Amino acid sequence: MRTYTATPKDIAHDWYLVDAEGMVLGRLATEVARIIRGKHKPMFTPHMDTGDHVIVINASKVRVTGRKAEQKRYFRHTGYMGHERFTPFATMLEKHPERVIERAVHGMLPKNALGRQKLRLKLRVYANGDHPHAAQQPVVLNLKQRGSK
């Protein structure tokens, strides 16, 4: 029995549309990261880009559980000594809701060149319900019925 390895000619990239309204941030990010990596396909190969494109709409309506809305902070460094900057979750969601989902998905992808490439090319996040990818005919992916009450 030989191990199967996907080749570029075998790979077909689909487009999925996910509505983030009312969804929990972490649960949304894990499913999106799984689709971007291609782990939902039987031909998944870790060193190849077998994943699909994901469009996330209504990013401004994502929610978090517990007290994370008050306690969660995003870290960044300016490059100068002692200049750490912390942005609260509520501020980040208000000003840049796309970055909240992008950073959550980024944390769940591999920290290598392929992971960065998948994040840059395969994830599109929009704060409201409009997106310019109608020509790709994305399939609506209903993640709310998966495991939620």
Which sign does the torsion angle of CA 75, 80, 81, 83 carry?
negative
Residue 9 lies in a domain: no
pLDDT band at 147 (very low <50, low <70, confident <90, very high): low
Q: How many angstroms separate the CA atoms of 63 and 20, rounded?
A: 9
Does residue 149 carry a pLDDT above 60?
Answer: no
Structural domain containing residue 41 = 15-65+93-140
Does residue 28 carry a pLDDT above 60?
Answer: yes
Average pLDDT over residues 112-123: 96
Residue 20 lies in a domain: yes
Inter-residue contact 34 to 40 (CB < 8 Å): yes
Please list, in sequence order, all residues whose beta carbon lies within 8 angstroms of the beta carbon of residue 25, skipping any fewer than 6 positions away.
62, 63, 64, 100, 101, 104
Q: What CATH number corresponds to the domain at position 38?
A: 3.90.1180.10
Average pLDDT over residues 42-56: 95
Residue 38 lies in a domain: yes
Residue 127: predicted pLDDT:
97
DSSP letter for each residue of 24-45 = BHHHHHHHHHHHHHTTTSTT--
Average pLDDT over residues 41-49: 93
Count: domains in the chain: 1
- Which of the residue ranges 3-7, 54-58, 72-76, 121-125 would you say has the lowest mean pLDDT? 3-7
| Phi and psi at residue 19, to the nearest 5° | -95, 120
Q: Is the pTM above the cut of 0.75?
A: yes
Average pLDDT, the chain: 94
Residue 3: predicted pLDDT:
87
Residue 59: DSSP 8-state:
G
Inter-residue contact 20 to 60 (CB < 8 Å): no
pLDDT tens per residue across span 59-87:
999 999 999 999 999 999 999 999 999 99
Residue 71 lies in a domain: no
Residue 131 lies in a domain: yes
Residue 72 lies in a domain: no
pLDDT band at 145 (very low <50, low <70, confident <90, very high): low
